[in-house]
Amino acid sequence: MIDIKFLRENPEAVKENIKKKFQDKKLPLVDEVIELDKERRETLQRAEALRADKNRISKEIGGFMAKGQKDEAEKAKAQVAAFSKELAELEAKEPVIDEKITKIMMTIPNIIDPSVPIGKNDTENVEVTKYGEPVVPDFEVPYHADIMESFDGIDLDSARKVAGNGFYYLMGDIARLHSAVISYARDFMIDRGFTYCVPPFMIRSNVVTGVMSFDEMDAMMYKIDGEDLYLIGTSEHSMIGKFIDTIIDEDTLPRTLTSYSPCFRKEKGAHGIEERGVYRIHQFEKQEMIVVCKPEESKMWFDKLWQNTVDLFRSMDIPVRTLECCSGDLADLKVKSFDVEAWSPRQKKYFEVGSCSNLGDAQARRLKIRVNGKDGKKYFAHTLNNTVVAPPRMLIAFLENNLQADGSVKIPEVLRPYMGGKEKLVPKK
């Protein structure tokens, strides 16, 4: 959510930003919110004037009565009553206008960074850098679910009976590998100075609307029936929510946290061959990183965050690339975003395994996360988030890139302590 003062003073800049995101249907909202803002300020000014006049005349009534000027006193009382009635109407009007303004402001997209490439959708995202040499082995790489099945490592049929499509049982060595990757990612981030956290896996609606747009909320979140609670789609939601309605001392910034959680997503519209297996699912586990920092430091932290994910994957010998999201592919709260994509030897292309986002002060403004500056002035913090690793999708890249011709899977050295010292996994069939 952008600052309404900025919108009031720069309506054309806000409209141009909407055009860059190819959301022209939202253009009328700028003029609409400007008119509502004008009405709100006029309402507040009129209410303040009425309170002042009401107080002044109320004080005069006693003087009229003391002088025996009953007619003047009655006129004054009538005027106070009229002022009280109008004031009550204005006070009832204020929250209605405020609600309308807030609803519109939460729909108008955040101002994107000038460096963001302009494009309509993810087909126009821009490759930034590749890390590692993509390899296509001289043997056929099976589909990831088939690799897992060769280790008796996945049971999709039972999961369908228990929970439906989009769920899975991981078994044996594959389940252990899943946990090993999460544990390694946790320690990797702790070694980089991040504080480890296990957050709530459910959040209230005011946190949901604070951390994401309405469109994202509808497409992702599962609502708990009869409760003001939602299952988190990523631990970023509850981690940023941790700071709701707080004032943080500037000296304590940045706050750098890494969190583990299960994640739950509707995944509306998922389809196609790559939706089989565990590529796009309703439940998965994830290690996340978030930063709350001063505005002038958010660009630096953005670069650090995506680099952490690149370094983690490269430590396991998985080739990756960074892809900058174009304007039309940015969620409304985002200022700038990179996807980290891993190489798939089977598909002979890269696929997304993580996303790094700078939200500017949008989430902080919605959630009232303020910083107490050294000069005593308060300002909104900047928030950022990034995926450290999200198995089981990450396991697709891991299994394909470490698969050997005999069907075994090599365990990179960094993971061996988490796998009981095993150097490779041997298939059972």
CB 399 within 8 A of CB 150: no
Calculate mean pLDDT across residues 280-300. 96
Per-residue confidence band for 268, with pLDDT thresholds at 50, 70 and 90? low
- Look at residue 280 in the predicted model and tell me its pLDDT: 86
The percent of residues in the chain predicted with pLDDT above 70, rounded, is 98
**275: pLDDT strictly greater than 60:** no
**270: pLDDT strictly greater than 60:** no
pTM for the model stands at: 0.90
Per-residue confidence band for 429, with pLDDT thresholds at 50, 70 and 90? confident
**377: pLDDT strictly greater than 60:** yes
**What is the rounded average pLDDT for all residues in the chain?**
94
Calculate mean pLDDT across residues 359-379. 95
pLDDT tens, position by position, 214-242: 778 888 899 999 999 999 999 999 999 99
**320: pLDDT strictly greater than 50:** yes
- Look at residue 274 in the predicted model and tell me its pLDDT: 47
If one compares 413 and 267, the residue with the highest pLDDT of the two is: 413
Per-residue confidence band for 335, with pLDDT thresholds at 50, 70 and 90? very high
If one compares 122 and 272, the residue with the highest pLDDT of the two is: 122
pLDDT tens, position by position, 66-94: 888 888 888 888 988 999 999 999 999 99
The lowest-confidence range among 19-23, 180-184, 214-218 is 214-218
What does the chain come to in residues? 429
Calculate mean pLDDT across residues 175-185. 97
CB 388 within 8 A of CB 308: yes
Per-residue confidence band for 324, with pLDDT thresholds at 50, 70 and 90? very high
pLDDT tens, position by position, 151-164: 999 999 999 999 99
Calculate mean pLDDT across residues 359-370. 96
Task: Please report the domains of the chain, with CATH numbers, ordered by start residue.
Answer: 4-105 (1.10.287.40), 122-425 (3.30.930.10)
**276: pLDDT strictly greater than 80:** no
**273: pLDDT strictly greater than 50:** no
CB 367 within 8 A of CB 207: yes
